[in-house]
Structure 1
Amino acid sequence: MSEYKIAVLVGSLRHDSLNRKLASALAKLAPQDFKFHQVEIGDLPLYNQDEDANQAAPVKRLKAEIAGSQGLLFVTPEYNRSIPGVLKNAIDNASRPYGQSAFAGKPAGVLGVSVGAIGTALAQQHLRNVLAYLDVPTLGQPEIFIQAKDGLFTDSGEIGESSKAFLQKWMDAYVAWIKRHAV
């Protein structure tokens, strides 16, 4: 494959979120044949099964962006020991109606950053459970639970030197995972 399109779902709507920064900085560690696109999830209606036959334009756009990708990247904060509602809503919208999930078979990676010491571990576990049900082969190792500390990002938005080798190792494993599972 000459180019791998990666749909990035950031579980935060905040413009200056740590997870949005992480998603952007990680993309810079990937090889040139990997193109990352952060998909919009903030404009989606709340999922309502009554709308399955006539999905809103933002839902159709989201499903098309996922369907047009060779892989997925979920970068999420942890809210109340789980995934944020906005991310769960995006997953619910893109996976319905039943039997028409945009996610089925798409390989994925999951990570996140938090100011807390366990760095999104519980949110990632909940997300992995949802993705397993949706038939999304998800990179298991290495796991990444990042605590936001000074120096994680440079002033120019790249990964700081103290974390660069660690995150490059994750990116290398993710790239190999996508290449192995992309259809």
Structure 2
Amino acid sequence: KKGQKLFTSMEVSTKFADTGKAYLVGLGATDDPASLGTEMLAFSASAAHNPLANRKQNPENLFSEAVETLIELEEAQDEKPSLFARVTALFTKKEQTDDARFSDVHKAVELVATEQQILSERTDKSLSDQDQRLSELESSLQEQQTAFAELQQQLSREDSRKDYRQRAPGGDAPAGTLTNC
């Protein structure tokens, strides 16, 4: 918004570490296009001697062309200051009497103790919730294991023959259930 960091530039080594491959050795965002020769490259492309050659790490490295870039930054959200920041703020006041300094130390200790108490309560509640959930899961597992054992026992007592035939009810059975021999 204020015209800052509008130009990008980079420095490329064409034979990096004797591998024969190109490698990006420098990258920057600058306020003015003269940074790392980005603007000068456009004017000195046909010059016999590049005036920015002494800025390169290696004479064979290349500079990028100046390209204007639009960067929009998000506004930072207001966050609650950290415990350290709040304690530090208590000690940064100037020209205080000894009583005021001792009062600030006392406030800082109270602040740390309060934050620690809140953290301890949250931790205790979380652990309690986890213990309860673990107990419920163990109980559920025990019920499932018992039901599985009962089913296994029931199935082991059943006849596993596939050719099993029900017994005939006897001589007084209806004609549809009698065997035709």
What TM-score do the two structures reach when normalised by structure 1? Answer: 0.19
What TM-score do the two structures reach when normalised by structure 2? Answer: 0.19
Higher-Rg structure is 2
